[in-house]
Amino acid sequence: MKLSFRKKDNPKRHLLIPEADQSRGEDQRFEQSILLEAAEHASEKKSIEDLKADLQTAMDLELSTIPPYLSALYSIKEGTNLESVEIIKSVVIEEMLHMVMVANLLNAVGGTPSIGTFTPNYPSQLPGNVMPQLIVPLAPFSIDSIRTFEKIEHPEGALQFLSEKDKELARNSADPSFTGIGEFYKAIKDTLIKLEKEAQNKGESIFTPNRNQVSDEQYYGSGGKIITVNNLTDAIQLIDEIVGQGEGTLGTIFSQEYDPKDDDYKLFGPDVEEYAHYFRFKEIRFGRFYAVTDSAHRDSPNKGLPTGQPFRVDWGAMYNFRPNPKLSDYDKGSAVYEKSLEFSKTYTALLKNINLACNGQPDQLIKGVTLMYDLKYKAMELMKIPLDDGRYTAGPCFEIVDCD
pLDDT by residue, tens only, the chain of 404 residues: 333 333 444 444 444 444 434 434 454 444 445 444 544 554 466 899 999 999 999 999 999 999 999 999 999 999 999 999 999 999 999 999 999 999 999 999 999 999 988 889 999 999 998 888 889 999 999 999 999 999 898 875 445 555 666 666 655 555 557 878 888 898 999 999 999 999 999 999 999 999 999 998 776 555 557 899 999 999 999 998 888 887 665 333 334 566 666 655 555 655 555 678 888 999 999 999 988 888 777 777 888 889 999 999 999 999 999 999 999 999 999 999 999 999 999 999 999 999 999 999 998 888 888 999 999 999 999 999 999 888 999 999 999 998 76
Helix, strand, coil shares of the chain as percentages rounded to 5? 50, 5, 45
Q: Which of 133, 134, 125, 129 is nearest to 174 (CA)?
A: 129
pLDDT score recorded for residue 8: 42
Residues 229 and 234: their CA atoms lie apart, in Å, by 5
In a 10 Å sphere around its CB, with 0-12 CB exposed, 13-18 middle and 19+ buried, how is residue 11 labelled? Answer: exposed
Distances (CA, A) of 245 to 16, 129, 182, 285: 10, 21, 11, 19
The answer to whether 228 and 202 are in contact (CB under 8 A) is: no
Backbone angles phi, psi at 126, to 5 degrees: -80, 145
Neighbours of 75 (CB within 10 A): 24
Cα–Cα distance, 348 to 50 (Å, whole number)? 27
Instruction: Write the burial class of residue 162 (CB in 10 Å: 0-12 exposed, 13-18 middle, 19+ buried).
Output: buried
pLDDT of amino acid 258: 63
Give start and end residues of each alpha helix (H) in 76-176.
82-108, 143-153, 164-172
Which of these, 132, 175, 166, lies nearest to 38 by C-alpha position?
175
